[in-house]
Amino acid sequence: MKYEYSFLIRILIVVVSYPLLTFLLTLPTLYGVFILTNFLHPILQGQSIIVNTISYDIIKACVAPLAYWILIILIFLTKEISLKKRVYMLLIGLISLYLINITRIAFLIYIGSEISLLLFDKLHLLIWHFISGVSIIIVWIFLIKYFKIKSIPFYDDLHYLYRKSFLKNVFSSSISGKLRK
């Protein structure tokens, strides 16, 4: 397949994937957290997990679709990765983020129900912002080391397309014309 077409397909996959993430990951996140908090004797009610009469709602932000999407962007917009390697990277990366995320939520539910709701409130936003950002970085670094990726996301694709485009000729001829004068 011609490189330009594969690049467009990869961009299309990235764009289409975001709306699907919340839909596809909400129930697995809810049930994963429910299983991890089983020792707290939770009750599952809709999209809420109730522990010690405290209801913890698993909302869109808890599912962290943006974290998964950033990883998808990094994987699909990195040049020179075979389809097989992309699929493996995607599976390992998404499963890793999923496990980190449900562990984070289960930990917060434990804090809120067994230690203190005040501590839960203080840790909730801090852990949510910090863990989601750091986990993407850690998972991405692991993936590029494990799969021996040398390309730079976005940059290598854009650099290749620029070298093959008519713009290179336009800019280089206008610059060399000005240098001759």
How do residues 30-62 score in pLDDT, each as one tens digit? 999 999 999 999 999 999 999 999 999 999 988
Candidates 47, 22, 44; CA nearest to 35 is 44
The rounded distance, in Å, linking the Cα atoms of 167 and 17 is 31
Candidates 123, 75, 76, 71; CA nearest to 97 is 71
| Per-residue pLDDT at 83 | 85
| Per-residue pLDDT at 10 | 77
Q: What backbone phi and psi angles, to 5 degrees, belong to 90?
A: -65, -45
The rounded distance, in Å, linking the Cα atoms of 104 and 33 is 9
At 57 the three-state DSSP class reads: strand
Query: In this predicted model, which residue has the larger pLDDT, 132 or 181?
Result: 132
The rounded distance, in Å, linking the Cα atoms of 19 and 159 is 29
The rounded distance, in Å, linking the Cα atoms of 44 and 25 is 17
How do residues 155-167 score in pLDDT, each as one tens digit? 666 666 666 665 5
| Contacts (Cβ under 8 Å, ≥6 apart) of 100 | 131, 135, 139
At 43 the three-state DSSP class reads: strand
pLDDT at 175 over 80: no
Tokens of 114: 């067994």
How do residues 116-153 score in pLDDT, each as one tens digit? 988 998 888 888 778 778 899 999 899 989 998 887 76
The rounded distance, in Å, linking the Cα atoms of 180 and 125 is 60
Instruction: Kindly report the pTM of this predicted structure.
Output: 0.82
pLDDT at 168 over 60: no
| Per-residue pLDDT at 8 | 74
pLDDT class for 178, splitting at 50, 70, 90?
low
Output Rg (C-alpha) for the chain, integer angstroms. Answer: 22
| Per-residue pLDDT at 170 | 53
Dihedral of CA atoms 133, 103, 29, 18 in degrees, nearest 10, equals 10
How do residues 73-101 score in pLDDT, each as one tens digit? 999 888 778 889 989 999 999 999 999 99
